[in-house]
Amino acid sequence: MAEEKKVQSNESFYNKKIADVFRVVHASEEGLTSEQAKKRLYEYGYNELDAGKKKSLFSKFLDQFKDFMIMVLIAAALISFFTGDKVEAIMILVVIVIMAIFGVVQEAKAEQAIEALKSMSTPNANALRDGHINSIKSTELVPGDIVALEAGDVIPADLRLFESNSLKIEEAALTGESVPSEKEAVALEGDDVPIGDRINMAYMNSNVTYGRGTGVVVGTGMHTEVGKIASMLAQADETDTPLKQNLNSLGKTLTVAILAICVIMFGVGMMKGDHTWVELLLTSVSLAVAAIPEGLPAIVTIVLALGTQKMAKRNALVRKLPAVETLGSTDIICSDKTGTLTLNQMTVEKIFSNNELKDAATELSDTNKTLKIMNYCNDTKFSSEGELIGDPTETALVQFGLDKGFDVREKVVSEPRVAELPFDSVRKLMTTVHELPDGRFAITTKGAPDELLKRCAFYDLDDKIVPMDEAQRQLVLETNTGLGKQALRVLAMAYRFVDTMPTDITSEELEKELVFSGLVGMIDPERAEAAKAVKVAKEAGIRPIMITGDHRDTATAIAKRLGILGENQEDAVITGAELNEISDVDFDKLVTKYSVYARVSPQHKVRIVKAWQDAGKVVAMTGDGVNDAPALKAADIGIGMGITGTEVSKGASDMVLADDNFSTIIVAVEEGRKVFSNIQKTVQYLLAANLGEVLTLFIATLLGWDTLLPVHLLWINVVTDTFPAIALGLEPAEKDVMDHAPRGRDSNFLSGGVMSSIIYQGILEAAITLGVYWFAISYPVHTGDYNAIHGDALTMSYATLGLIQLFHAFNVKSVHESLFKVGAFRNKFFNYAILLSFTLLAATIVIPGFNDLFSVSHLDGYQWAVVFGASLSIIPIVEIVKFVQRKTIYK
């Protein structure tokens, strides 16, 4: 079916009468014939989601070379190659290729979101074809098909319901609402009804939890609500992470600096007239190559990879490396409520029995009538593994019974159900009839408190039946109102005994003269650790935002319980319908006002994320449902749930929480801040070292000194730019890492005093190195032998420049704090790295045979003492500068 397909109607069907719906889709209650279905399948295509255009592996590989820093490194490799330094050129190219391969591997799962959406489609559907209900592949459904639904079915396409018999559909993955939606086949009014309130619609990939229904297909494939989400995912632009922005900015800064060095070096040389322009050009280019920290991208990748391993051990699974650092700069955490801040599991929280309101944890006798009714008047089933199957509200009641020692499976053996009156959304009640051992029959009823009270003539008080009076009725209604204000879903329980089996199983016959027993308040409770995590986030300057498909009252109550909202902050709550009335321009001004968004759609979630990003904030978005996927992709970092999350949400995420624990996000934020801090230390260390090398060569050239040979520079870069830099990435987090506000989107690796530190520390390294060379020339050990004097001076300056960088690595364990406070030797990997680097550096001087290779001489004890003393001096000098800075600039 490569031809262009016929476009399905984009009209809203929830606000149309069923006759108008049939007219639009050209169908009727009799369904389609096989010929009609075949023709429409050709016209509209299969009921499946488009895979979208996929990039080839080669294209993905080439994309890795579009990064600015990578282009700078490629230029450096070419310059090194043409100036004769082929070893360094090869090393740079190897680093680039490894980084590109790693990038392709990390992004290999980027297209899994839409694939996961496709895999969610159901294999079969019960459709009315040729006048008979037939089981057909859901991919062959077409607009106009009539589909029959029953408990346990997965909705195969978007349907407009025209028959509903106690039908309930769980739509949490689409709407974010934890309680199944009760469906009615009635036309709705309005043109902007939220998805969660469209009670006459059944959407693809949601689940029937109760009752039966029939609907006509009004949308298939990409024209379903799930299809719209898939389109949003496919069209969403990838957001540049702060890390990528920082590296690009750093690369551009270095490029400007390198070009300036080349120009100045060439200009000064031409003015002096000591060398030809060709020699000056080669010298300038060699100097520029020395300024490029070619190992930085590789080291950043290694630090991020090590960070992902640490986070994985703490249940935060990172899918994209930059997400590790992005977490550390997070200003806003937009969190889905259901399944993220809450358990996505209805739980009994309060019980009102014998005119007493008690917490669910209170001891309760298994003879309590309210407990008995909630279990008897219940359609929950048990799987072979003992798991509860059914409507989440009903399974919560049975679970509560099990927790109290009341196993309904045992009880109904002696008091079996003999009749039932299913739940009806009109009367809002359910009733069952049970035969008792003494020959009588017990009628048990549960449902909406206001409706059930109308049918109660008595109430139960300490197992005594007392006539219902107005005072008792008011007490029940006030209790119901109070529980409702706490966002609890309240059900009422009632019963009566009859001597003979009712002959007429109707509401009029069964649901009358009832004895009120009690109320049960349920809620999808907040996670135990979530409130603490919210508190820690606020202390770290991070603002939590709740986004949910639930009603305003429920969202407000949960937000207050979690600490997202204060007691009198109801004006910080807004609904999706209210948000629709606000323009994007106005919303950008108002976004900081709201902390809770209720009854929202997927489009709203993306809009909220974008508004915060427009305000300059780094935004993290958590979620577990299909409806969260577009926002997860739009956010700076999308965080999916590993246990309750759909494959769609995981595929759209940068990070997945293996334990679905909101507090794990805070752990990940701490790790992210540590990673950024350590990368910043690495940048400071490498750039200060490279600046020291550049200034040493630059000034020495101007003075006519030969302080370093190209092989010395290459070996120093290999030895000092690798192991210590990687080890700095393994530094433990500083104690105050979570005590300050996020650094913000505008910060970079050179901010916070790092740039000034690089400059003065690079100057200091060059000054000390040049000072040692001058000292060796001025006060030589050998007298009268210029070659020997120059050889010693060259060796001492080479050893000094290498060692001073190793000692300087201790200084950058903290940008501002004292080395002695953060601990000089607490990182064992760092200690080993310094020892290894020193060994490799010293080996070129002390091991026979290396002298000729590196053009160096052996040093005696006096000379080594000068080298060590001069190199070590950088530690106290930098410590003094940091002390002054802490007392003045950063106090």
Residue type, 673: R
Distance CA 883, CA 877 (A): 10
Residue type, 594: Y
Residue of 158, 336, 524, 721 marked active site: 336
Strands 619-623 and 637-641: parallel
Distance CA 744, CA 333 (A): 14
**485: closest CA among 547, 425, 561?**
561
**377: closest CA among 518, 481, 188?**
518
Q: How far is residue 107 from each of residues 57, 238, 631, 712, measured CA to CA in Å?
A: 11, 12, 19, 38
* Residues linked to residue 336 through DSSP beta bridges, in sequence order: 547
* Residues linked to residue 466 through DSSP beta bridges, in sequence order: 459
- SS3 of 170-219: the string is ECHHHHCCCCCEECCCCCCCCCCCCHHHCCCEECCCCEEEEEEEEEEEEE
Residues 6+ apart with CB under 8 A from 812: 681, 684, 685, 688, 728, 757
Contact 867, 859 (CB under 8 A): yes
- Dihedral over Cα of 225, 226, 229, 235: its sign: negative
Distance CA 724, CA 808 (A): 10
Could you write out the DSSP letters of every residue in 260-290?
A: HHHHHHHHHHHHHTSS-HHHHHHHHHHHHHH
Distance CA 453, CA 493 (A): 9
Note if 336 is an active site residue.
yes
Measured torsion, CA atoms of residues 777, 780, 784, 788, in degrees rounded to the nearest 10 = -80
Burial of 11-48, coded b for 16+ CB within 10 Å and e otherwise, reads ebbbbbebeebbebbebeeebbeeebbeebbeebbbbb
Tokens of 726: 């990687």
- Dihedral over Cα of 623, 578, 428, 463: its sign: positive
Residue type, 648: V
Q: How far is residue 323 from each of residues 71, 675, 819, measured CA to CA in Å?
A: 23, 11, 29
Contact 328, 335 (CB under 8 A): no
Active site residues: 336
